[in-house]
């Protein structure tokens, strides 16, 4: 597994230029057109003796240099204290002990029915159980978790895209592979808020839930049965652009998102001028403000029309308002569907999914690319 920074540096065409900027949440390259910097919403460097250094994976210990998460003595640690200790998976009443091993950069255990894995990211850790083939089974876990430390976000164990809980009943007619995944994160970089009601007007104007530690963000609407409910989902992005020098002039900004799934309905995905810093992190107490403000906000730029998007690919927005790029903190955006904006009620599934900052595949995470340069001095010779 690679960090976002390592993956980006390997893939980007900008690596033919010299590195001009390293920041907490991004990296910049000196090009003939100015410094082209790319930012995410989590840490990619850590500060040591006044120098920004890349967060990198120590293969011998299974933890990130510069991260608070680690692997020691058969347990996941946070700030050198136990977070959880994987012991066993119970499959149809039979206990299978987890004989964990370090496999490259992963901590894994092979099981007769699948694979158990611990994955570390720059700012978090994921516990995954993947069941590749259809089975009829009841699955439980013996993975004791310590009390969650303060300021650490956690999402409960769940089937990815499905049910939360501690005991899971699998059937052969489910979509495979099935992945069961609880997460911990030291940051909440993005998320989504949704409204769900039997009245479309109510679903569109009243939030009922949210998620801020998730691998996937949802944008769009849905009409579904049973219950004949409507659901509207709006997403929220933030990028750590604090490393841009205060004196620099920003001349261009574009957001790139990776589509993980979509339906066949055509609508536009718009990036909204929404500074949701007052709701960061999103909670049950402030989700309504985030939800309402996304609907009320002014469109900044088109990301894409869903007609031009294919799942499994990344797409870049049209140019964003450069005056909104923060040089002192995070740059925030809302994301909404044009059908949501126009109050066009859905007749089925009308939403798109994109990868979040918590996605374990580093190259799928949202990025903001900013072109900037020092302002002219005003002196002429």
- The SS3 of residue 207 is coil
Residues 114 and 211 in one domain: no
Nearest to 297 by CA among 351, 343, 339, 333: 333
Q: Which of 160, 185, 210 is the last residue of a domain?
A: 185
Residues 75 and 167 in one domain: yes
The answer as to whether 380 is a domain residue is no
Residues whose CB is less than 8 angstroms from the CB of residue 276 and which lie 6 or more positions away in sequence, other chains included = 236, 238, 282, 290, 293, 294, 332, 334
Element holding 210 (H helix, E strand): strand 209-211
The answer as to whether 49 is a domain residue is no
The answer as to whether 298 is a domain residue is yes
Residues 68 and 129 in one domain: yes
Residues 136 and 259 in one domain: no
Residues 193 and 131 in one domain: no
Q: Which of 135, 161, 185 is the last residue of a domain?
A: 185
The answer as to whether 53 is a domain residue is no
The answer as to whether 145 is a domain residue is yes
pTM of the model: 0.88
Measured distance CA(359)–CA(164) in Å, rounded: 18
**C-alpha separations of 35 from 17, 38, 90, 95 in Å:** 10, 10, 53, 56
- The SS3 of residue 18 is coil
Residues 175 and 272 in one domain: no
Is the C-alpha dihedral spanning 33, 39, 45, 46 positive or negative? positive
The answer as to whether 50 is a domain residue is no
Residues 360 and 216 in one domain: yes
Nearest to 214 by CA among 64, 342, 364: 364
Residues 238 and 366 in one domain: yes
The answer as to whether 359 is a domain residue is yes
Residues 214 and 314 in one domain: yes
Residues 144 and 263 in one domain: no
Q: What is the DSSP letter of 100?
A: -
Residues 10 and 150 in one domain: no
Q: What angle do CA 302, 317, 349 make, to 5 degrees?
A: 60
Q: Which of 159, 185, 211 is the last residue of a domain?
A: 185
Q: Say how many domains are in the chain.
A: 2
**Predicted confidence pLDDT, tens digits, the chain (381 residues):** 688 999 999 999 999 999 999 999 999 999 999 999 999 999 999 999 999 999 987 655 666 788 888 888 888 988 888 999 999 999 999 999 999 987 766 789 999 999 999 988 888 888 899 999 999 999 999 999 888 888 788 888 888 766 788 899 999 999 898 988 878 887 778 999 999 999 999 999 999 999 887 889 999 999 987 668 999 999 999 999 999 999 999 999 999 999 999 987 899 999 999 999 999 999 999 999 999 999 999 999 999 999 999 999 999 999 999 999 999 999 999 999 999 999 999 999 999 999 999 888 899 999 999 999 998 744 443
Residues 140 and 195 in one domain: no
The answer as to whether 38 is a domain residue is yes
Q: Can you give the residue range of the structural domain that contains 314? A: 4-42+188-374
């Amino acid at each position: 597994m690679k960090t976002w920074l390592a993956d980006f540096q390997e893939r980007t065409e900008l690596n033919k230029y010299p590195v001009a900027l390293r920041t907490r949440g991004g990296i910049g390259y000196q090009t003939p057109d100015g410094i082209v910097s790319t930012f995410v919403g989590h840490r990619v460097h850590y500060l040591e003796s006044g120098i920004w250094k890349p967060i990198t994976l120590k293969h011998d210990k299974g933890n990130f240099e510069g991260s608070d998460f680690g692997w020691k003595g058969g347990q996941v640690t946070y700030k050198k204290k136990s977070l959880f200790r994987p012991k066993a998976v119970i499959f149809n009443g039979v206990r299978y002990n987890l004989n964990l091993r370090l496999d490259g950069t992963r901590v894994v255990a092979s099981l007769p029915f699948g694979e158990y894995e611990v994955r570390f990211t720059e700012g978090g850790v994921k516990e995954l159980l993947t069941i590749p083939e259809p089975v009829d089974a009841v699955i439980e876990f013996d993975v004791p978790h310590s009390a969650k430390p303060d300021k650490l976000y956690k999402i409960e164990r769940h089937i990815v895209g499905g049910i939360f809980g501690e005991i899971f009943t699998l059937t052969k007619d489910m979509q495979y592979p099935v992945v069961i995944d609880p997460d911990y994160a030291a940051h909440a970089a993005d998320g989504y808020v949704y409204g769900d009601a039997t009245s479309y007007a109510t679903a569109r104007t009243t939030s009922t839930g949210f998620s801020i530690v998730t691998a996937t963000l949802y944008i769009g609407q849905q009409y579904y049965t049973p219950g004949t409910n409507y659901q509207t989902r709006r997403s929220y992005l933030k990028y750590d652009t604090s490393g841009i020098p205060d004196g620099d002039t920003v001349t261009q900004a574009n957001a790139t998102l990776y589509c993980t799934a979509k339906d066949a309905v055509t609508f536009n995905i718009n990036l909204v001028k929404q500074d949701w810093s007052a709701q960061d992190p999103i909670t049950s107490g402030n989700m309504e403000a985030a939800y309402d403000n996304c609907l009320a906000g002014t469109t900044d730029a088109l990301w894409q029309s869903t007609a031009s998007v294919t799942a499994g690919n990344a797409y870049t927005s049209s140019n964003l308002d450069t005056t909104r790029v923060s040089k002192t903190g995070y740059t925030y955006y809302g994301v909404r569907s044009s059908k949501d904006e126009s109050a066009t009620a859905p007749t089925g599934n009308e939403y798109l999914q994109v990868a979040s900052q918590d996605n374990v595949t580093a190259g799928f995470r949202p990025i903001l690319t900013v072109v900037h340069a020092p302002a002219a001095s005003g002196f002429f010779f």
